[in-house]
Each structure stands twice: as C-alpha cells, then as structure tokens.
Structure 1
C-alpha cells in the first residue's frame, strides 16, 4: 500500500502550484471571514437589529392609551417573535420584553426582562406615545457568528477555485513542455558531444538555465583541450630525456674502460635529473590547471621568503651570484601557501639558471592589508620586450636559454599560480638597465 501511495506524495511542480493555490484560497477566505466578522461586530455595536424591532413596536403603541391594550400588543409581538426564533432553532434564547408607562410602572414584562444586562444581551430602548419599551436580545457567541459567515462564504470560494485552477493548470502544463524538450535534448546527446545545446527556449525563465548549461559545456571543452595539449606536450618533452637515458644506459652497459663508464654515468645522471625535474614541473602545472584552489592560511610572508632564499643561498654561492632580499621584518597575509611558493621558487630558480657568474639577483617584498608585491630582479641576459608575453607559454625558451638546462615550464607555472592567488605577473626591465624584473602583484 505504501508503495502504491508513494507516487502521490512525490513532489511535482503541479502539486506545488495546487498546494499554493489552496493555501492562497484559505488565506483569502480567512481574510474575508475576518472582515465580515469585524463588520458584523461593528454593525451590532452601532445599530443592533433588535433596535429596529423596538422602534417598530413602539410606533404601533403611539395611539394606544389603555395599559391593558398596550400590554396585549406587546405580549402578542413577543409570543410571535419568540415562537419564530424557537422554530428556527438557530438563535439562542428568547427576546425579553418590558413595557413601562411614563411614571415608570411596568405594565408588561417577560420572565427574564428584569435580569437582562448589556454583557449578555443587546439592549434596545424606544418610546411610543405614553409608553417606554425595552427589548433585550441574547448575544450570539463569536464561534456561532463565524460559523454562519463561513457557511455563507464557502460556496463562493468553492465556485471560484476551479475557475482559477483550470487556467493555472493549463499554463503550468504548457510551461513545462520546453523544460521537457530541454531534458530530451540533453538525454539524446552523446557522452563525447560537448558542443552547445543549440536550444533557445521561448520562456525567459529557462534561458539562464540553457545559458548556464552551455557555459558548463564550454568549460568542459576548454578543460578537455588543456588535458589533451598537456598530454601531447608532456609526451613530446619526456621523449628527449628518456631517449638520452636509454642511450647513456646502453653506453654504460657496454663501456670499454672506466673513463667511458664515468662519462656515461654522468650523462645518465644528468638526464635522469632533467627527467625528474620535468616530471615535477608537469605535475605542478597539472595541479594548477585543475583550478581548485587550496584553502588560504595566515602566513608571515616575509619569514617565508627569507627561509626559501636561505635554502637557495648555497646554490647561488656555488654559481658566483649575489642573492639578496629587501623585505620588511614581518608581513602577515592570508595566502595559498603552495601557490605562493611556486611563484617564488620558480622565479628565483629561473634567475639562478640564466644570470651569468658575478651577476646579481634581488628579491623585493612589500605589501600591506590585502596588497602584496613580490619582485625578482636580475642583471642577466633578459627577455626582449616583444617576447615577454610569450615567455609565459608552456615550453617556451628564449634565445638566451639554448645553453641552459630547463623545461620551459617555470614561467607557465608562475602565471597559473599567480592567477590562483588572485594576482597577476608581469615582466619589466631589470637591474642597471640589464636583465629583467618579474613582478607579482595582488591588490
């Protein structure tokens, strides 16, 4: 049974619209009922119906002079009115009558007339000739009044509901057709088809959905193209060091003497180092290409840069280079540590590779609040202004790098890492008019 009823409880747009319509009708009915109840209370407070009855009876007593005749008239009207009330069975209790003369003497009174009060009855007073008439009608409870008003209002609401529901149901059914068409279009597509949907719905509400889907497909196409280009470039670049490794391993295995073995071993070691460095660079670039930023963490950037340069200082000394740092004592910032270290290490590593012996490499760090600027300047061979933008492309190596070992991926990694950090990288002139300065800025 539960399985049979479960589809009835499954949420659908049509059920939600129907539920919203029912709620709207309930709220509208409640509001109308409240307004009618307030109007009823106001009317009964200002002009109760029993007052009209009292005025009519008093008018009929204007020409009556005898007390017995007057009492008879009032008694007949009382019996008639209360008989009708009892027959109807809806109104509570009898209307109490009391007739007094001008002297205040009671000529006629029903049993409860003397005990009726404004708290329990609607009171009405009227004068007719020599007589003063008082009527007391029992007050009707609020729940009874609300019941009467609700029964009067309900037929109108029930009649209006299908009249409103039918056009709304037709509009929803017709409005769902483009969404069904869109779902069919997506379902029929091949898993390898990342082209735009080519579907333009007439309804403005569906156009953002189609646009978002096409944008997602465009990002997937770009990601697939990057992955294919990455695989092709990696295969091409790894082919050379792997060929060198194979050749030197063959020479090492068939070396005729110790000198030839040492030469082959040195070349093999250099090729393995280059292949290892290239693999690390490729993995770093692949991780940055994924676009998922690591969570930022609070860092002292000045201490981080100082520690990194201290690790590189022995290499700079071996190469005969002057590596210096100009930075404040402390520079707190919220950063993706891995991305910033990629920027710093690759920029300084490039400078140490390309600057000739006796040259200088100056690292400058500045910042404040959210801003951060890192400069790595040198007096090496530099990069011509016309080639500076191309320098950030993968596997690009300038004329000055033909005799320097490297992968051509360092600056590509720097650009991706800079974007990950929410900044940008640029190239300016270097020290003393020579070399170049790499500037990373985050504002």
Structure 2
C-alpha cells in the first residue's frame, strides 16, 4: 500500500502523462464520432449497395436474354457473398432479385422475399428491360463503432509515443531548475535570509525565484525591525528601572520623613512610567502580531462621547478644552479594539503635549465610502520635516523632550490604523497651529 500511494502521488510528469492520455482519448472520441456521423450520412444518402446495383444494372442493360441476365446476376451474388463470408466482418447475406419489364422474377436469392426495409439497406437499378433490387443486411451501431475504433487505435498507438517522448524530455529538463531551487532552499540555514542568488532561464521559475527573494527581503527587514525594537525597548526600560532602583535605595536609607516622601514620590513616578511603557510595548506587540480580527457593530459617536467623558476630569485639571463634532449617531462595523487604541492614544498625546489653556477638538466624519477621525489641537505641533519620523518607535520630538512619554503612541496609532484597513497622517492643527492627526479607513459593507 505505501508503494501504491507513492505511485499515485501527484507529480508533474504523472500529471503530464494523465493529461496526454486524456487528450488522446478526447481526440479518439471526436474522430470516432466524426467517422460515425459521416458513415450514417453516406448510408442514408448513397449506400454502397446502390453503387453495386448501378454497376450491375449497367452490365445487364446490354443483355436481352433472361437466362443470360439470370446467370450474370447469380454469379455476382455468389461472388459477393463468398467475399463477405471470407472477410468474417460483414454479417448475413446480400439478397438479389431481378425482374423483367413485365414484373416477372427472372432470378432471386433464397432470402430475397423476406427482406424488410428496417433490417436491410436496399438499392434499385432499372436498366434496359431489367429491374434489379439488391438488399444488404444492416450493421449495428456497435459493430460500426468497433470497426472505426480498431482502425483509430492503431494510429493513436503509433502517435502516442512520438508525442509523449518529446514532452517527457521537455518536462524532465524543465524541472531541473526547479529541483535546483528546491535543493538551494532545503539546505539553507534557518537564520540565513540572504537572497538565493539564482536566475533560472525559464520566465516562470525566474518569477518564482524573484518572489522568494522579495519574501526573504521582507523577512530580513522584519527581523531587523524586531531587533531594533527589542534593543530600543531594553534601552527605554533601563532608565525607569534604574530610577526605581535608585529611589528604592533612597527610600530604604532615608533619615527623615521629608526624604522618605520625596523618594516615595519619585519611586511612584518611575513605576508609573515603567508601567505605561510596558502597556505601550504590549499593545504594539499585539498589533504587530495580529493579522486580522473580528468586527463589531459600534456607534462611533457614542463611543467617542463616552471616552471624552472619562477624560474630561483630567483635561479640566490640565486646563484644556475638549470638544466633539460628530453626527448624532454613526453606526458602523469595524475592529472595535483597534479603533479604541487609535482614539485613546491620540487623546493621550494631546493631553500630554498641549499646554494649559489649549484646545483639543475631536471630529468624526462619514463619507460615502470612508470614515475619518480627526484629533486637532493648538499645542506646539510637529514640524513638517519631522512628521514622517514621528511614527517611528521611540521617536521623541525636540518640542516634547520635557514631557514624560515613551515615543510609542503614534507608532501604535499607525499599526492600529492599518488594522482598520486605513492610514494616518499629520497635518496642521487648530487655526493653523498645533498638530492634527487624521485617521481614515474604508467603510465595511
């Protein structure tokens, strides 16, 4: 059984052989049908027995004596039926009947009187004083198809190896580059993401090798980004951890209540920064690893209103004015977690960087095919030259160097926007000042 399974396992040569056998079968069927249709047409319009009757009638036209006409007809019948018996292919006996001008039978074979139209092909010839009728037994369709099939089989068996051999050689030679490509990939180390270095002659394999090299290049870039991410994360975590250790030491050795209070406050701030950074890293890692997710039906207006209501005390404490411009209701289907990640990170950035007395405006827009979320402020903003870099991990602009943060907020927003199927861009903020973050994505249908 294992040997049989191996034999039946699909391979290109076996598929080629099967396709060739199928093609020959279809050609044979088409030729057989064509020959059969031509045979039926010929027998219906001018059967072979009619030709025989015409020739024999022409011979009898010059014969006046009934005896001579009967002898000629009898000799023709005996010779034809002997040839049929010797061939062994044609069934039955051809029946002859010869009549004179008065309708008297001059000669008839024994079965001539039992001939019926449905069982024989009949032909009649009138030449001179004679009326000749010849009836040949009909051949079944199965017999006719057998004749044509045997004739075709010889030609097809001769043609099959002549067609198969060149195709087999072409496939075997054509598969050699593919086998080389397979070997090159199979012996490669798991950490080796360098290009394959193969340029096959065939266009199809050249395209496959190019696609594989492109995949390796993307994997190489992904690996480099992950390494950089790990290094940056380790560097960013090192600072709050060092502060935690230092303040814990000071707290443990503080000699007075004010010293302990200062150390505890600094320790708490360092722990909060470390916790915030850890949450940001986990969020970013989740967005990077998750390819797709389910969607929920959400009223975006209601969701944004609830989020702003939760942040209102913090904004009031910072002296910021929060506003919302949105339709009364905006029900859509989308990945809710991704949208909430976008909204919370944009608002968190605005509350961190906009100074007291500033404004933060949130806008929801629904177009015919797209949805859009805008978060604009009148804070320090991001210079146009730095706007693309602002989406890189751990990027901190010069204007926000004094503000506590991780530099991951906008990187998270970009990844979450991709999860929504859209993108994010930075524009000028309110009244031509500050910063505007615009996230747009297509509507789900």
Q: Which residue of 1 aligns with 2:148?
A: 149
For structure 1, which segment, 8-17 or 283-292, has the greater mean C-alpha deviation from structure 2 after superposition? 283-292
**Cα drift, residue 155 of structure 1:** 1.2
**Cα drift, residue 350 of structure 1:** 1.2
Q: Which residue of 1 aligns with 2:230?
A: 231
Q: Which residue of 2 aligns with 1:352?
A: 351
State the distance in 1 between where 2:140 and 2:425 align. 84
Residue pairs, 1:137-286, within 5 angstroms: 137-286=136-285
**Cα drift, residue 238 of structure 1:** 0.4
Q: Which residue of 1 aligns with 2:92?
A: 93
State the distance in 1 between where 2:204 and 2:399 align. 57
C-alpha offsets along residues 62-93 of structure 1, whole Å, 9 cap, x if unaligned? 23333333323322322332233233332111
Question: How many aligned positions are there?
Answer: 442
State the distance in 2 between where 1:50 and 1:381 align. 107
**Cα drift, residue 253 of structure 1:** 1.6
**Cα drift, residue 372 of structure 1:** 1.6
**Cα drift, residue 27 of structure 1:** 1.1
Question: Does structure 1 retain, via aligned residues, the 8 Å contact 2:381–2:435?
Answer: yes
- If the length of structure 2 is used for normalisation, what is the TM-score? 0.94
State the distance in 2 between where 1:88 and 1:200 align. 64
Pair 1:42–1:193, CA change in 2 (3 A): same
State the distance in 2 between where 1:429 and 1:372 align. 20
Question: 3-state SS of the aligned residue for 2:114?
Answer: coil
For structure 1, which segment, 98-107 or 381-390, has the greater mean C-alpha deviation from structure 2 after superposition? 381-390
For structure 1, which segment, 85-94 or 167-176, has the greater mean C-alpha deviation from structure 2 after superposition? 85-94
Question: Does structure 1 retain, via aligned residues, the 8 Å contact 2:93–2:137?
Answer: yes
Structural RMSD (CA)? 1.8
**Cα drift, residue 433 of structure 1:** 4.3
Q: Which residue of 1 aligns with 2:79?
A: 80
State the distance in 2 between where 1:391 and 1:19 align. 59
State the distance in 2 between where 1:63 and 1:388 align. 113
Pair 1:407–1:31, CA change in 2 (3 A): same
Question: 3-state SS of the aligned residue for 1:372?
Answer: strand
Pair 1:432–1:176, CA change in 2 (3 A): closer
**Cα drift, residue 184 of structure 1:** 1.5
Unaligned runs of 5+ in 1: none
State the distance in 2 between where 1:170 and 1:246 align. 74
State the distance in 2 between where 1:60 and 1:439 align. 104
State the distance in 1 between where 2:54 and 2:385 align. 107
State the distance in 1 between where 2:85 and 2:343 align. 99
Residue pairs, 1:280-359, within 5 angstroms: 280-290=279-289, 292-359=291-358
C-alpha offsets along residues 183-210 of structure 1, whole Å, 9 cap, x if unaligned? 1211232221101111010001112211
